[in-house]
């Protein structure tokens, strides 16, 4: 007489509930990530990624255990369409539990990812190097400057002549850290001068074209994507919040009569 399996094993049930708790925790952590712009963001991101890998490992173990221990048989009188639906839904469930963590990590694989014409992907950081040489200033002299001295300085310099910055790309080696922007890469890394930013005119903010724009560092052109550096996403949330606050106060900060915009 052959014993018929009527329930999952204790190990299978344990794996099921561990994964259920992990998935629910990820959902709540994800909600917290998109609703905060404070210092909690990075710990939440780390927890989210760690849980994702844990769920992936549990799903693979669960699939292995299922292949060895099997599963309870479906009721003999279950109609064939429902039997097929049950089978397909189980396949879809495993595909999601394994695929989602892999997709998440593939989307956040390095600092910024540049893809060249040959399809090669490189992790890079970029910087804008000013043509104007930096001038050291003492603490005493700095204290004498007004709160708007940077705005006044750039306005004066651009009025005298166009100001230029070189866009420099630094290409990472495979061993370079990409998720922590505070950790510098070695100075001997390959650099590429990708272009020049030329500023020819400064407009006051009150009537300028930038006041009604949300500058989101995660919206990138084709060939560039965000990696696992948490700061672009944190800045995206902060800038969106800033934009909401700024536009909600627009009537308290009206444009001048000379403005072409309402």
Average of per-residue pLDDT values in the chain? 81
Q: By residue range, what is the domain housing residue 91?
A: 10-107
Whether the predicted pLDDT of 109 surpasses 50: no
Do 118 and 241 lie in one domain? The reply is: yes
Torsion of CA 220, 224, 227, 232, to 10 degrees: -30
Which are the contacts of 234, defined by CB distance < 8 A and separation ≥ 6?
A: 37, 41, 42
Is residue 42 a part of any domain in this protein?
Answer: yes
- pTM assigned to the model: 0.54
Contact yes or no for 165/197 (Cβ under 8 A) = yes
Domain count, the chain: 2
Mean pLDDT of 198-207: 85
> With 0-12 CB in 10 A as exposed, 13-18 as middle and 19+ as buried, what is 222?
exposed
Is residue 233 a part of any domain in this protein?
Answer: yes
Instruction: Give the percent of the chain with pLDDT over 90.
Output: 11
Is residue 48 a part of any domain in this protein?
Answer: yes
Do 62 and 180 lie in one domain? The reply is: no
Is residue 191 a part of any domain in this protein?
Answer: yes
Do 63 and 157 lie in one domain? The reply is: no
Do 72 and 195 lie in one domain? The reply is: no
Do 192 and 245 lie in one domain? The reply is: yes
Do 123 and 88 lie in one domain? The reply is: no
CATH number of the domain to which 120 belongs: 2.40.180.10
Do 125 and 90 lie in one domain? The reply is: no
140-188 per-position pLDDT tens digit:
888 888 888 888 889 999 999 999 999 999 998 888 888 777 788 898 9
Instruction: Give the percent of the chain with pLDDT over 70.
Output: 89
Could you tell me the pLDDT band of residue 260, with boundaries at 50, 70 and 90?
A: low
Do 57 and 96 lie in one domain? The reply is: yes
Contact yes or no for 197/163 (Cβ under 8 A) = no
Compute the distance between CA of residue 182 and CA of residue 235 in angstroms, rounded to an integer.
15
Do 216 and 117 lie in one domain? The reply is: yes
Is residue 258 a part of any domain in this protein?
Answer: no
Is residue 195 a part of any domain in this protein?
Answer: yes
Is residue 257 a part of any domain in this protein?
Answer: no
Mean pLDDT of 244-256: 76
Do 90 and 118 lie in one domain? The reply is: no
34-73 per-position pLDDT tens digit:
665 556 666 777 787 788 888 888 888 988 888 888 878 8
Do 84 and 154 lie in one domain? The reply is: no
Is residue 100 a part of any domain in this protein?
Answer: yes
Do 81 and 154 lie in one domain? The reply is: no
77-89 per-position pLDDT tens digit:
888 888 888 888 8
Which are the contacts of 132, defined by CB distance < 8 A and separation ≥ 6?
A: 157, 163
């Amino acid at each position: 007489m052959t014993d018929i399996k009527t329930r999952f094993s204790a190990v299978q049930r344990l794996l099921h509930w561990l994964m259920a708790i992990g998935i629910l925790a990820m959902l709540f952590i994800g909600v917290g990530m998109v609703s905060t712009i404070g210092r909690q963001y990075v710990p939440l991101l780390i927890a989210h990624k760690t849980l994702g890998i844990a769920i992936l490992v549990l799903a693979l173990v669960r699939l292995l255990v299922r292949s060895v221990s099997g599963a309870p048989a479906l009721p003999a009188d279950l109609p064939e369409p429902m039997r097929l639906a049950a089978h397909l839904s189980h396949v879809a469930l495993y595909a999601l539990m394994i695929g989602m963590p892999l997709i998440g990590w593939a989307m956040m694989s390095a600092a910024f990812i540049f893809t060249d014409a040959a399809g090669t992907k490189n992790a890079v950081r970029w910087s804008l190097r000013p043509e104007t040489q930096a001038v050291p200033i003492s603490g005493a002299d700095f204290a004498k400057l007004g709160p708007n001295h940077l705005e006044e300085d750039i306005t004066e310099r651009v009025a005298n002549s166009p100001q230029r910055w070189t866009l420099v790309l630094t290409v990472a080696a495979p061993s370079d850290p990409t998720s922590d922007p505070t950790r510098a890469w070695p100075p001997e890394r390959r650099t590429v001068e990708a272009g020049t930013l030329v500023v020819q005119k400064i407009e006051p903010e009150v009537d300028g074209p930038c006041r009604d724009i949300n500058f989101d560092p995660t919206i990138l052109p084709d060939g560039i994507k965000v990696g696992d550096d948490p700061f672009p996403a944190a800045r995206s949330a902060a800038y969106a919040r800033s934009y909401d606050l700024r536009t909600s106060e627009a009537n308290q900060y009206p444009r001048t009569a000379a403005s072409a915009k309402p």
